[in-house]
Structure 1
Amino acid sequence: MIQKILIAGLIVGIIAVIGFGLIDAAQVTPDSDSVILATESLATDMPEITAQPTAEVTEILAETTPDPQPVIQAQDSMGEAWLAEGTVTLLEDFGFTLATADGEYYVELGPPTYWQAQGVNLADGAQAIVDGYYNGEQVHARVVTVEGAELVIRTEAGQPMWAGGADHETNGEQQAAGGSQFQVAAEDWVTLSGVIGSASNGNVTLNVDDGSILNLQMGQPQFWQSQGIALSIGDPVEVLGFWSGDQFMAGDIRK
């Protein structure tokens, strides 16, 4: 009798264990399914979650990052080709005002020691034809024709005739178009050290080591590039040139 009771209790115990096991299994399975679904959901949503902030950051950077200081490149930063005829109304040392049918324009000539040496009769009231480059503010003259005589200021590439073509090893002698000569004595050439401060419209600003600031007329950047010259804002440089009145005329720039 006792054996039957023990066997019956054992069977009940086994059934109870199996029953509890089934109950636990039934409770665990939904949790596992939930975790798996959640993982799949995160994996599915992850590209959307990460892509949206990335797009926003890219847009913010595009809006807030300041324009970098560009390296001076070969481009027509002196302006577009310009040709006009008019009357000289006000002649100055470094240029003149030209009255045309479209309005008045300031025409830059460079140092008077150069253009006056060519012997062209440029004066107030003279009729002149100007071939050059207009940048929206002023005209950089290439050739000025007065009474059939040509005053040559720059080459076709935009190189200033008073600087780019100078031979510094032969007393700064420079042969201008039309046979006239322009000379700068060897002792007049000086070297200034500093850093590039800015560059626009063919002009370069030099922050000299002594604290002064000079505007250098350099001609078209495409001419510098043809010599392998690349100038960036902040570059330390040495500039070889000469003084023409209050204007410093650059001949060479060394980095």
Structure 2
Amino acid sequence: MRHSFVYGALCALGVMIAAIPAKAVVGTTDGSCSGGPITVSIFNSSDTGISSISCVFDVDKITVNETWGSAAAGFLQFNGLDQDVFYILRKNITNNSGVDFTSITNELLDPTDPTFADNSHDGDDAVPIPAFIPSGFGTSNNRDGLDFAQGATATSAPVVPRTSDVFAINTADELLVRDFLDFSDGTIGMGVTGYIEYGLRDRNGIGDADCTGPNNLTGCINDGFLVAQRPNENTIPVPAPGGLLIFGLGLAGLSVLRRKKFA
């Protein structure tokens, strides 16, 4: 009877342990970390504001702990995202740069060099390519399948938040030629850690008909894309052509009203 009781207790304990969700906590050699097929690494580590990273991969949530040694632009490279999965990307930013971060922009950059991937869609990228973008990459336009999961809704997929414990304002420019987020109205002081969180999706990721694995560079058109981060840029998003038209019509209307008022 005693043996049966002990055996039953051990079985129950095994079931309880199996029911605990698994988390892959992955260390880093300062430059990269992996969880399953996904790899996150510091791109061009000799010329970046990010000095080291570590990661936690928890199902569809990717947490990257970043330590910044300067206020220069920092680039993270992502490989191995599954097709059309709404990932949540959380970045815990530790500021050891020597200056306060009063804003931080985040922008998706996809490969343009034919040695990386098919680049037939890149004619829709921003022209000229902004000077901060590394060679071999361009802005993320509406045809490349890479985005901040802005299409997520309560009915189509889990709603992906855009939040921060530091920055109160989030400005987005993701209509045509780029995927851009600007977190502002807050401060990550020297020696302080703050987080930002948003969605990430690759519609042409692993599992797509033309993308059979992380090393299939001709079919996985976005594999190896970058997330560019720039502190204290105060960048004004580029308005879409329609927005410029509406803005112009608004100015014209205002001019007419002024002429009528003072006629």
- Tell me, yes or no, whether TM beats 0.5: no
TM-score (norm 2): 0.23
- Which of the pair has more CA radius of gyration? 1
Greater helix share, structure number: 1
Higher relative contact order (CA closer than 8 Å, sequence separation 6+): 2
